[in-house]
Structure 1
Amino acid sequence: MIPMVNLKAQYAEIREEVEQGLAETIARCSFILGPNVQAFERECAEYLGVKHAIGVASGTDALHLSLLAEGIGAGDEVITTAFTFIATAEAIKYVGARPVFVDIDPKTFNISPEAIEQAITPLTKAVMPVHLFGQPADLTAIAGLCEKHNLKLIEDCCQSFGASINGKQTGSIGHAAGFSFFPSKNLGAFGDGGLVVTNSDQAAETLQMLHNHGSKVRYYHDIIGYNSRLDEMQAVILRAKLKRIDQYNRARRRAAHLYSELLGDLPLATPYEDGLGVHVYHQYTLLCDRRDEVMKALQDQQIACAVYYPVPLHQQNAFKEECAGVTLPVTEDIACRCLSLPICSSIEDHTIKEIAGVIRGVLSA
């Protein structure tokens, strides 16, 4: 079967370095907030161009703690997109705030700056754009809105490690940002993991306490915090991959462009790059009116494919109270037609051509 992501092939490239690092960690018996976590945080901060990077237990925690560190809480509204994984809105609910879902751009699938501006009320305290599928949202426009209305800008970078806007990495532009290291991500661990980044010394100090039981000094707790620390073993793996992240992202971009070249003349819409930034293709997601036929043909040939996301968040039962009567026409249309194809840094040209050939066979019929 052709998988969505071939983690085995990627591991083969780094096996020796990872196994040596894990063996050294086990021999050292320094498992919690150890030297690899500290080194990884420094290396990420340097790579992303930010002052502070704090490792946490997951991408969801990264978003949750970002909101807390920026003072978002009960009674506040946070404007975000409904076309994303639920963790984005879960984090908003965790802090007692209300997610306000707005529509997306029909080409990039990212949150629409115009829709954001229309949704701002006196209760709005933050905007949380998602750099969906690895394509940067229009942060130039969004940051301008946040400055104009005195709102916090908290970036959801869980799908965009290594993506950039005008030479700046995603995560380096807002007040804070959260990253995920779920195994399938462009920079993925061998389990859960996440990272919060910020340029604010005050937010970083709060985050250091929040992710470690509210403590700056062991056994002294200034606030109620959480047990959300990046694991030392995962840091070993992530450090090995971080050295190669630009290589991985270039390979993903090359694969995406080959897909688009092979599929460009068919009755579907290939991913759109808006030119505002560098898309790193966490997912290769196209639009097709005959999606179900294409999916069945791929599955019949043992080729993985997926729909991200079949039910937008404003239509999920978990948000039915705050979303009664909410309609988002573009989001709802995209959800009915989107389809993601296998993509990773190790996918080979012949595999892409095979997948494209199956799709062509359906749509040319």
Structure 2
Amino acid sequence: MSSEQRSKHPFHMYEAIFAQPQAFTHVAKRNEVLIDNCATRIASCERLFLVGIGTSHHAALVGEYLMHLYGGDLFTQTFHSFDFALYRPRITPKDCVICISHRGNKLYTVESLKYAREVGCYTVFITGEGVVTEAVQSDITLPTVAQDKSAAHTVSYIGTISVLSTLADRIGYHRTGTSLLSKSFLEHELSQLLSVALETENEMVRLAHEQVNRRRIWLVGGGPNAIAADEIALKIKETSYLQAEGMSIETMLHGPFQCTEPEDLFILIAPTGPAQRRVFELAGLIQEIGAAYLVISDGTPESLHASATGWVIVPKVPEPFCSLTCLMPLQLFTYYLALECGTNPDGFRLEDPRFARARSLIQL
């Protein structure tokens, strides 16, 4: 978090949100050779483990989807840093472990990296600029972007996924001889589509103003969009301190829906993909209990619009990347919720002496 604190709009989070499209392109271009060299080594590994915590864990989960689609069938599994460090899955020197940390100093991510090095794995550290890598040893470090000035990480999340996207493509190429993601898409086209997704700002301002007093906000999606739901719920908690929960559609249907109320707001992340039909079905249940829902989609679920409190259409992209196009309007929604609540979205609530004292008691 930056020492240059702001007390009014535009906060650092706002500027970071709009820096994301260019950041995706910049990171992909600057790391092209380094990532290809790294991918050559990973392609010969038996297994790949992606490790992170918080927003970095969400990035790792997106990375797993990218690897499954583009990584040439390399076995890939994501772990939360806490579990990887303390419960130590059985790994071997034939494996690769990629640890992700925006600041480069999270306790259990650093411990995970140490464990992997002790075993003799090939280790990769994805982190932001300015991290003292001598203190965190790995075989290779892949830099993302300058450190987020806000405690609510946005541009660093996109930077990490840019690295993971290019890495998945190059691993797939070195394993199969075929690249399934075009260089033009990663370095040009996707950035333009992310910029289009941010053109929803005025609608997000309106929706935040109208929905800020909801009892609870539920975000629901399927596949990679469930990760976007979880990430936005985390951002709402961090920035406006409202009650928000994000989860997969099937998780919602198997228990959590029973504690919802008509005063709640549902946000349905429903672009084209295998989970879309199931998300449609949830809309009918929401109507039955008298709650409201918003739809974030790529224009396909027109049947949901008539009963929706609002909807936002983003550009259509391959499904792993719709977790980014759908994410960005909701980052703006999150930001404007904080403004409606009168909170500082950059500060992690540390301006409150109680939370500052609590934070000082523990190492993250």
Same fold (TM over 0.5): no
TM-score scaled to structure 2, two decimals? 0.34
